[in-house]
Amino acid sequence: MKSSFAFLGLPANVSAQGDGVDHLLVAVHGLMFLLFAGWLCYFLYVIVRYNKARNPKADYTGVTSHASTYAEGIVALIEAGLLIGLAIPIWARTVEHFPGEKESTVIRVVAQQFQWNAWYPGTNGVFVNADPKFVAGDNPFGFDKSDPNYKNNFVVAKDFVVPVGKPVIAYISSLDVIHSFACRPLRAMQDAIPGMRIPLHFTPAKIGIYQINCAQLCGAAHYTMRGTLKVVSAGDYQKWVAGKSSAGAGAGAGYE
Ligand SMILES: [Cu+2]
């Protein structure tokens, strides 16, 4: 997590995977700058070289050299290089190489208008059963309250806590419309789609408090849909989870 490309308006990267994303962004911006500068030079050259004073009569033959074909070939080669050399390996690492659940902190992120919720399995690490048939006004997540894990689970709104230096697997879902979980300092983003539970993983590399946004226009108060991801030491995280679990208020506390 060495990269920090503030000149692109990016917050400093604090995830173990973010460097690849940053390098790709910088390379794509570099190529776009090159194309912009190249086209601008060509445009200025054409204005001067082919003005009316120099060319009083139209030329119907047009360009005979192959310079533009070569230039296009070079641009296509650079683009192929970016795709094969940077983009596809990042995709493969992010999507194909998921960390094991045993070595990770597993949480379920549930979006709703206009709030982020994180559902934690608590100290025993087992998620309480949930099913749409249990959904009610006082049980929006559909928890099975007769499940013995119900008391050990807990849900926090807005302010999530995860430990540093360990992969986090977040299953992203939504209670209502399409939202998008975005934590830019961690270069992590995933749409939250009703009826789907989509896994996302990232490894926080630095203790701190980072902003979570909703990156999908989801209604009138979309702009208020902020949260924080608090990255703490492993010890502090265990203490926090133990405190929440032992309170025994149950996963649905706050909604009942
Ligand atoms: Cu939203």
For residue range 91-119, list pLDDT tens digits in order.
888 888 889 999 999 999 999 999 999 99
Query: What angle separates helix 18-49 from helix 67-82, to the nearest 10 degrees?
Result: 170
Q: How far is the CA of 150 from the centre of ligand 1 (A)?
A: 27
Q: How far is the CA of 189 from the centre of ligand 1 (A)?
A: 13
Higher-confidence residue of 90 and 4: namely 90
| Other CB atoms within 10 A of residue 131 CB | 9
Amino acid at 10: L
Instruction: Indicate the DSSP class of residue 189.
Output: E
Reference 157, options 247, 225, 231; nearest CA is: 225
Q: How far is the CA of 8 from the centre of ligand 1 (A)?
A: 25
Summarised one tens digit per residue, pLDDT across range 188-247 is 999 999 989 999 999 999 999 999 999 999 999 999 999 999 999 999 999 999 988 877
Question: Above pLDDT 90, what percent of the chain?
Answer: 59
Stated pTM of the model:
0.83
Q: How far is the CA of 220 from the centre of ligand 1 (A)?
A: 10
Q: How far is the CA of 157 from the centre of ligand 1 (A)?
A: 14
Q: How far is the CA of 225 from the centre of ligand 1 (A)?
A: 6
Residue with tokens 């995830």: 15
Summarised one tens digit per residue, pLDDT across range 118-177 is 999 988 888 988 888 888 888 888 898 888 888 888 899 999 999 999 999 999 999 999
Q: What's the CA gap between 130 and 169, in Å, rounded? A: 19
Amino acid at 193: I
Whether the predicted pLDDT of 1 surpasses 60: no
Residue 49 tokens, joined: 């070289």
Residue with tokens 């689970």: 153
- The answer to whether residues 76 and 82 touch, using CB atoms and an 8 Å cutoff, is no
Q: Distances from the Cα of 199 to the Cαs of 99, 101, 138, 225, in angstroms?
A: 11, 11, 26, 20
Whether the predicted pLDDT of 63 surpasses 90: no
DSSP-based three-state secondary structure for 104: coil
- The answer to whether residues 21 and 5 touch, using CB atoms and an 8 Å cutoff, is no
* Average pLDDT along the chain: 90
Degrees to nearest 5, angle at CA 68 with 66 and 69: 65
- The answer to whether residues 140 and 176 touch, using CB atoms and an 8 Å cutoff, is no
